[in-house]
Structure 1
Amino acid sequence: MTSWPDEPCVYEREAGELDRVINPESIDHYLETGCVPADEIAVVSNGAALHPDRHRTAGRTDPVKLRNLYEDGHTIRLGNLQRVVPFLADVSRGIQRETGFSNYLHAFVTPPGRQGLRHHWDQQMAVIVQISGIKRWQLWRPMFPSPMRAYQESFRVWDPGFIPQWEAAGPDLEVDLRPGQSLLLPRGWVHNP
C-alpha cells in the first residue's frame, strides 16, 4: 500500500498462522480461562456496554456469566489482544514498523443473527478480519471527511437524527464478510456492523 485508501476494500487472504492462533476455539479458551484481563473485556448489546459487574465476580472475569450473556445475544469484545497473544504482538509491531502508527487488536464475538454495535464511525482506519461466520457490514460515506480533533469521538458530534437519515437513504455499500476475507475500512466511514 502506497497511500491511505479513501474507500472500503475487501481483500481475500490465504489461511495461515493467524487462523491457527485466532479461531473460535482459541477465543473460547481465552474467555473460559480468564487469560484476557478483566478490564479488556466488554459486553455490548444494542450499542450499549453493560456494567462490568454483569460479567465479573470479585473483579475477575466470570466465564459462566460471559457464556450466559453471549447465549442471551450479547456481543463480547476482547480488547488489546496484542498484549496477550504473542503472535498478535508481532503483527502489531509489524504494522507499527511499516506505517509508523500505533495500533490495537480487538476481537468481537457476536452470536449468529445478532448485532452488538450500532451505527458509528471510527477516527482511525480499521482492518476487520473475519474468522468465522458471515457478518453483514452496512457502510455509509463519512459525515465528516477524515475526522480528527473536533470529531475525535463520534459521540461528541452525534445527532440522534443521523440514524433515521442513514436508514432512509440506505447504505452506500454493503459487504457480507466471510472467513478468509478482510475489510479495510477508512476512518470516518459510518458502519452498522
Structure 2
Amino acid sequence: MQLSDIVEDPAALLAAWPVEPIQWQHAPDHFDGLLTMGEVNEWVDSECLPLRNLELVEDGRLMERHEYQGNKGMPDPGRVRAHLAAGQTVSIRRLETAKPSVSRLARGIQELTGYDVQINAYVTPGGRQGFRYHYDPYATLILQVHGSKVWHVHPPVVENPTLEHGDFQQRGFTPEEQEHLAVTPPAASYVLDRGTAFWLPRGFIHAPIAEPGETSVHLTIAIRERTRHWVAARLATEILNLALTDPALRSVVPPVEMAAGPADVVGRMRAYLVGALLQLDPAEMAELTRRAAVRPA
C-alpha cells in the first residue's frame, strides 16, 4: 500500500500541504494488509513484540515500562491483556520496524515527501479514551483498521508547532486554554469507521474516543514535516562541519578576552559565517538537503 491508496488526490496533497482536516472513506477491509485485529491479539498475547515497541496508556498518562515488563525484557502478556480488559489503551510503537507492509508504506511516504515518517498503532476498548486533549508537532494520517472512533477537534493554539518550539509535551495548555477546552464544544467531530482515513494537520487539538461496542484499532502515520528552520539548520551544520577542518578556528580564545567580552572574535566569526554561507554552492546544498530529508531516521 502507498499514499495513493489512501488519499484521494496525492498529487494535490503534495503540491498544497493541507491545513484543514480531511476524511476519505474506503472499503472496511481496505487497510487489512497493514494491520488486523487478529494480529493485534497475537501481539498482545505473545512475547514476540520488544518492550521498546509497546506503550501502555493509563488514564491519559504513559505507564512506566517496569509496570508491564515480563521475562527477558519482553512485555508480560497477562499484564497487557489485563490492561486492555480494564479499559485502557495499548500503543504499538514504530510499527514500520516490525511489519514489512507498514515499513514499505512509511518508506514510500518519506520518498514522496522528504519527511520523516513513524507509524504507531493504538488499541482502545469500546467507549474508552486513551489520551485527553493534546496536539502534535507534526501532521498525522490516521487509518481506522477496526471498530470506530470519534475525534473531537479544536483549532490550534500554537501556529506551526515543532518539537523544538511550542511542542505540547513541553508547553502543555495555559490555564485559559484549559478552561476554554473544558467549557467549549469541539469545533468539529469526525467519526472514523473501519476503512476511514483521516488527515489531521499539526497543531490541531484533539481527543479521540472509541465508540461503544467493540475495540478500536487505528494506525497513526506521523509525518514530521521539514520546515524552513530545518533547511536553515542543514546549511548551518554544513558550515560548522567545514569550520572544524580549519586549524585556525580550532585555536583557543584567550581567557582574558573571553572574560572581558570577546567582541573582536565575535565580529570575526560573524564575518566568517556570512562569508562561508555565501560561498556554499546552492545546487550542491540542495542535493545534500534532499538526501538528508529522505534518509531513514
Provide the TM-score with structure 2 as the length reference: 0.62
User: Which range moves more in the overlay, 39-48 or 89-98?
Assistant: 39-48
The structure with the larger Rg is 2
CA RMSD, 1 decimal? 1.5
Change (3 A) 1:169 1:17: closer
Alignment of 1:132-151 (within 5 A): 132-148=146-162, 149-151=164-166
Alignment of 1:14-163 (within 5 A): 14=27, 18-58=31-71, 59-148=73-162, 149-151=164-166, 153-159=167-173, 161=175, 162-163=177-178
User: Which range moves more in the overlay, 55-64 or 182-191?
Assistant: 55-64
Change (3 A) 1:163 1:133: farther
1:182 and 2:234 correspond: no
Does the 8 A contact of 1:47 with 1:117 survive in 2?
Answer: yes
Write out per-residue CA displacement over residues 8-32 of structure 1, whole angstroms, 9 at most, x where no aligned residue: 1111124567314411001111222
Does the 8 A contact of 1:139 with 1:190 survive in 2?
Answer: yes
Does the 8 A contact of 1:121 with 1:189 survive in 2?
Answer: yes
Letter in 1 for 2:61: A
Instruction: Return the alpha-carbon distance in structure 2 between the equivalents of residues 179 and 17 of structure 1.
Output: 9
Please identify runs of 4+ aligned residues in structure 1 that moved more than 6 A: none
Higher relative contact order (CA 8 A, sep 6+): 1
Does the 8 A contact of 2:29 with 2:194 survive in 1?
Answer: no
- Identify, as 1 or 2, the structure richer in helix: 2
Instruction: Return the alpha-carbon distance in structure 2 between the equivalents of residues 101 and 70 of structure 1.
Output: 33
Instruction: Return the alpha-carbon distance in structure 2 between the equivalents of residues 164 and 176 of structure 1.
Output: 25
Provide the TM-score with structure 1 as the length reference: 0.93
| Structure 2 residue runs without a partner (length 5+) | 1-12, 209-297
Give 1:70 shift: 0.6
Does the 8 A contact of 1:119 with 1:163 survive in 2?
Answer: no
| Structure 1 residue runs without a partner (length 5+) | none
Instruction: Return the alpha-carbon distance in structure 2 between the equivalents of residues 9 and 21 of structure 1.
Output: 21
Instruction: Return the alpha-carbon distance in structure 2 between the equivalents of residues 86 and 175 of structure 1.
Output: 30
Letter in 1 for 2:142: I
Letter in 2 for 1:124: Y
Does the 8 A contact of 1:45 with 1:115 survive in 2?
Answer: no
Instruction: Return the alpha-carbon distance in structure 1 between the equivalents of residues 138 and 190 of structure 2.
Output: 19
Letter in 2 for 1:33: S
Instruction: Return the alpha-carbon distance in structure 1 between the equivalents of residues 29 and 37 of structure 2.
Output: 15
Write out per-residue CA displacement over residues 22-74 of structure 1, whole angstroms, 9 at most, x where no aligned residue: 11001111222233211121100221111212211242111111000110111
Instruction: Return the alpha-carbon distance in structure 2 between the equivalents of residues 16 and 119 of structure 1.
Output: 29
User: What SS does structure 2 have at the residue aligned with 1:113?
Assistant: coil
